[in-house]
A and B are shown apart, each in its own frame.
Chain A
Amino acid sequence: MALGSDAFRTALDETGLTLTDAQKDALFAAYPLFQAMVARATAPMPREAEPSVIFTPEAR
């Protein structure tokens, strides 16, 4: 879910990163682009869809 300006700043503060207000503003300006990418990448998948990191156990 997209965050508003205040929620975005709070979320950044909670990450433990130390950003100036100007740095937060710069990131917030690009946040819609980032959020659009996240939304496209996380469109609903069938319940049984496997992730790409499933691996074949090594035979020993």
Chain B
Amino acid sequence: MDPFLTIADAGALIAAQKLSPVELTQHCLDRIKAVDSTLHSFLLLTEDRALADAHAAETRMQSAALKGPLDGIPIAHKDIYNTAGIRTTGHSRLLEHNVPTEDSVVVQKWSDAGTVLMGKLTTHEFAIGGPSFDLPWPPARNPWNPDHFTAGSSSGTGAAVAAGLILGGTGSDTGGSIRGPAALCGIAGIKPTYGLASRRGVLPLSFTLDHTGPLAWTVQDCALLLQAMIGYDPDDPAIANRPVANLTADLQSGAKGLRIGVIRHFHEVDNPVSPATKKGIEDALDFFRKEGAEIRDVTLSPMMDYNAPGWLILTTEAYAVHEPWLKERFNDYGELMRDRLAFGALVRGSEYVQAVRRRRALCVEMRDAIADLDVLITASAPAEAPKIDEVPKWAMLEKPNFTMPFNVTGLPALSLCTGYGDGGLPVSMQIIGKPFQEETVFRAGHAYETAFGWRTKRPGLVS
């Protein structure tokens, strides 16, 4: 068995009865036991559940009754997704012994698709406080170099997928928490359009910025995973009631004819990226141009203009969520979480309203900018992963990040690997689409990814 199968490949082999879901699951369990004492990507390994799920999938395979392309695929969930009967902590002392009685909607959907639940994954505390060393569990480490940061908050998912411990997993994204780990761990991750995937049963951080979404080794795998996440949920007030699109329909359509806007000032002026990151973007643009795409620059407001209302809204909404606990159990939170949220107590009502008025203006600006384009491109992260003990506590206030603008505007945004820097760690770019046009984002991402050879290389720790 290929030790690093993609979901698409493993699904095809299972469908052809050439791969046993039980053997695949056991292979992943063995790898977890071999390397996760270094990576700390799992908070809880559900080995018995995984083997039971795998045996059920194998029975379906043998009786030609597979549920679809995810049947028998080992996955895991970020530990802010409620899992019935399985501890869900938010990586926090405050929920150290919390066992939900119901699955979150996404967990249920992936279970219905036949996935194999391997366990619960490390996160930054309640999806914002990290990397923290004062919590009951350590932070995840980057499999390309364990001294380095994974980014967050879906840190365990990024590490586990890159290391091949699982084939895909869930993340959540309020200011970049899917795309950041995807970028620094060298994998693919998509924050879908706000309103596409249900958030019900996922611990909230900021109601108007929270998104659920998948991370996987390839763009195609992200499309397969996201397909199984979406669908109308009448009990999620933010979800759009619209027909479910076929997210893989355009996957093989190539780049010819795509109209691509480059938000060059984001990654060259507003937060200048490393030479390797810039080269990755330029090489991608050259590729798209040669394939027959139309490329042109797009100018928006400075990236910090998007970040400022984003972080103000996030901080205020997150404070509202956590206020009772912050007042009663301030010191049970990790330092990063409690300090980042404490500022939310100082925000005046009029300041929050001004921020959401600014947000509407930015949504209009972005809508107009992409109106006659198919996708936008900029960086996902400024450079390779920094060392985990050198991450500034207030990084989000010091420099604008590349991901928050698309939480503020709700547009679908994919991060994917564009190569490796001088330190041997991954660099990345971001492809952004129009609302509910994820299939176009996947089309562009898949065209790029299959033309370059980055997916053949795995972290040295596991290969």
Q: Residues of A with Cβ closer than 8 Å to B?
A: 11-12, 15-19, 23, 26-27, 30-31, 33-34, 36-38, 40-43, 45, 49-54
Contacts and interface: CB of A to CB of B under 8 A. Distances in A.
B5 interface: no
A33 B327 contact: no
Nearest to A45: B357
Nearest to A16: B327
A22 B355 CA distance: 30
B339 A45 contact: no
Contact of A49 (B326, B330, B342, B360): B360
A42 B360 contact: no
A50 B360 contact: yes
B398 interface: yes
A53 B357 CA distance: 8
A40 to B, nearest CB: 4
Given A12-B342, A17-B330, A41-B312, 5 more contacts: A15-B346, A31-B343, A34-B346, A49-B361, A51-B357
B397 interface: yes
B326 A37 contact: no
Contacts of A34: 343, 346, 397
A30 B357 contact: no
Given A34-B343, A52-B208, A41 B358 contact: yes
B353 A51 contact: yes
A15 B361 CA distance: 31
Contacts, number: 87
Interface string B350-378: 11011111111101000000000000000
A52 B311 contact: no
Question: Range of interface residues on chain B?
Answer: 20 to 34
29 contacts: A12-B345, A12-B346, A15-B345, A17-B330, A17-B345, A18-B330, A27-B343, A30-B343, A31-B343, A33-B397, A34-B343, A36-B397, A37-B308, A37-B311, A37-B312, A38-B312, A41-B351, A42-B312, A42-B354, A45-B361, A49-B360, A49-B361, A50-B357, A51-B353, A52-B208, A52-B356, A52-B357, A53-B208, A53-B356
B304 interface: yes
Interface string B300-312: 0000110111011
Contacts of B307: 37
A33 B398 contact: yes
A27 B336 CA distance: 11
A49 B208 CA distance: 19
- By CB atoms of chain A within 10 A, which of B351, B354, B361 has the most? B354
A51 B353 CA distance: 7
B360 A41 contact: no
A45 B342 CA distance: 27
A11 B361 CA distance: 31
Interface string B267-297: 0000000000000000000000000000000
A2 to B, nearest CB: 11
Interface in B27-45: none
Contacts of A12: 342, 345-346
